[in-house]
A = this chain, B = another copy of it.
Amino acid sequence: MTDTHEVVAAYWAAAEARDWDAFGSLLADDVVYEAPQTRERVRGRAAYIRFNNEGFSGQWHVTVQQIVAEPRRAASWIQMSEPDEAYPGLCFFEIGDDGRIAKITDFWPEPCGLPAARAHLVERY
C-alpha cells in the first residue's frame, strides 16, 4: 500500500460522504479532470468540486472495487450504484509533487452486445 493508494481511497470516501472539504483537500489547486467519452474538461479545485457537487443529482453511491497505485499515479475501478442501476467507473490519476491529485481521467464503460464474430470463442456470465 502506498500513500497514493490512501489518497485515492480517501478521494472516493469523501465523494461517497459528499464531504467536499475533505474531497478538495486531496486536489491540487490546478487539478484537471477529463472525460474522454464526452470530451469534458474541468480545470481547478473549486470548479471540480462544483462539478461533482452540482453535476450529479442522483442518489449515487460508490463502492471501490480496486485501486492500483504507484507513488505518482494510480488507477481505480469503482462500482457506482443508483436506485435503478449499477455500473463500473474507471479513473486514472496523476499525483503532483505535494501528494495531491493533479489529473483525473474518467471513463464510464456501458453495457453492449456481443459481436457474432467471436461468440463461438467465449462463454457468457
**One of B42, B70, B114 near A69 (C-beta < 8 A):** B70
Count of identical protomers in the assembly: 2
Which residues of B have CB within 8 Å of A122? Answer: 40-42, 51, 55
Which residues of B have CB within 8 Å of A43? Answer: 123
| A111 adjacent to chain B (CB < 8 Å) | yes
| A109 adjacent to chain B (CB < 8 Å) | yes
**One of B41, B77, B110 near A109 (C-beta < 8 A):** B110
Instruction: Tell me whether B107 and A90 are in contact (CB under 8 A).
Output: yes
11 residue pairs from A and B, CB less than 8 Å apart: A34-B125, A39-B124, A40-B114, A40-B123, A41-B124, A55-B117, A55-B122, A68-B70, A68-B73, A75-B92, A109-B109
